[in-house]
Amino acid sequence: PNDTHPDVPLGDETMAVLRREVGTKRDFSFEVANHVDIGERLGMFDFATGSKVCGSRFVYLTGAGAMLELALINWAMQKVVSKGFTPMVVPDLVRQSTMEKCGFQPRAENTQVYNIESSELCLAGTAEILLGGVYMDEVVEEKKLPIKMAAFSHCFRTEAGAAGASTRGMYRLHQFSKVEMFVVATPEQSDALHDELIGIEEEMYTELGFHFKVLDMSSEDLGAPAYRKFDIEAWMPALERYGEISSASNCTDYQARRLNIKYRPSAVDGKKQPLAHCHTLNATACAVPRMIITILENFQNEDGSVNVPEPLQPFMGGLKVLTPEDVAASSK
């Protein structure tokens, strides 16, 4: 694994340190419904068909559910592009060797990775891997750094060992959509960029009106590539707990060494400088299922309707409220 930042708390996930808390828990005057019941009542989810056609942990998003996913993706992409990221749509399949160079283990026991039989390809669990591979085996001029990329992709995870009520519904799926940010930088830039990435996430979720915590994650929760990782956990009222909706990691040169991503420092006194390894960082802009859970559970109304967060309304055809009446009308 990578080294850890000196400020990273040592121990398991219970040792994570609170960096910031935004907003407050909503005080409901009625019994809170969970996202599955809300979504099915609004005609947004079809878990029965997902199970029939594909198996457990799959869902068909229908009606307002499909529109909400597309709204979240378009809103998130617009936000990150405004922050200087180059938008991309990347493949869903990737070479096992590229995945391994990014610090993932497709061949490990209890792996989260779906491998394609009789092939060196596997289904990517995150666009981080595809974006990490863009500059593999390349040398970048220092003046071009940092390079900021953002990708929409489907993510595939076996979710081996995941079970329990907290994983019901949308919380842990085998396939979901995500917008991911990725940065290639110099070592001197990476700490400030890590703060920038978590700042973008905080700004986005504040705009949507979420109540969330920002955590500096502990050493046992970092995974192999991360030098330091900040997680954002949003309040999910029906689950009666905070659930992770996003993270931002500084992987320093861990991935760049394996991917062979180097840069040439600017000349000093006219003399060429030796090549050095870049630093890489990644951050989730929008993991759709967890965002949908947070929206439905926090912005539900007593009559079964759900308020659409204002920033998403232009991407929902101006719709401000999702109502059961809309579902009934569309089914006639």
Q: Inform me whether the pLDDT recorded for 167 exceeds 80.
A: no
Which region among 70-74, 95-99, 157-161, 270-274 has the lowest average model confidence (pLDDT)?
157-161
Q: Select which of 247, 258, 297, 305 is catalytic.
A: 247
At 327 the pLDDT is 53
At 301 the pLDDT is 96
Q: Which residue has the higher pLDDT, 326 or 136?
A: 136
Q: What percent of the chain has pLDDT over 90?
A: 82
Strands 261-264 and 45-46: unpaired
Q: Which residue has the higher pLDDT, 269 or 161?
A: 269
Q: How confident is the model at residue 161 (pLDDT cuts 50, 70, 90)?
A: low
At 222 the pLDDT is 86
Q: What percent of the chain has pLDDT over 70?
A: 95
Mean pLDDT, range 130-141, rounded to an integer: 97
Q: Catalytic annotation on 244?
A: yes
- Helix (H) or strand (E) holding 288, with range, is helix 288-298
Token pair in block for residue 253: 């040169």
Which region among 105-109, 151-155, 173-177 has the lowest average model confidence (pLDDT)?
105-109
Q: Which residue has the higher pLDDT, 112 or 190?
A: 190
Q: Catalytic annotation on 41?
A: no
Q: Select which of 21, 40, 100, 244 is catalytic.
A: 244
pLDDT digits (tens, 9 = 90+) for 225-249: 999 999 999 999 999 999 999 999 9
Q: How confident is the model at residue 93 (pLDDT cuts 50, 70, 90)?
A: very high
Q: Which of 247, 57, 75 is nearest to 152 (CA)?
A: 75
Beta strands in the chain (DSSP E): 17-22, 45-46, 60-61, 86-89, 93-95, 114-115, 121-123, 138-141, 147-156, 175-185, 212-216, 228-236, 241-250, 261-264, 276-277, 279-287, 306-307, 321-322
Q: Inform me whether the pLDDT recorded for 106 exceeds 80.
A: no
Q: How confident is the model at residue 267 (pLDDT cuts 50, 70, 90)?
A: confident
163: left (phi over 0), alpha (psi -120 to 50) or beta: beta
At 2 the pLDDT is 86
Q: Which of 92, 86, 82 is nearest to 135 (CA)?
A: 86
Q: Inform me whether the pLDDT recorded for 332 exceeds 70.
A: no
Q: How confident is the model at residue 329 (pLDDT cuts 50, 70, 90)?
A: low
pLDDT digits (tens, 9 = 90+) for 19-45: 999 999 999 999 999 999 999 999 999
Quote the pTM value. 0.94
pLDDT digits (tens, 9 = 90+) for 207-217: 999 999 999 99
Q: Inform me whether the pLDDT recorded for 162 exceeds 90.
A: no
pLDDT digits (tens, 9 = 90+) for 286-304: 999 999 999 999 999 999 9
Q: Catalytic annotation on 57?
A: no
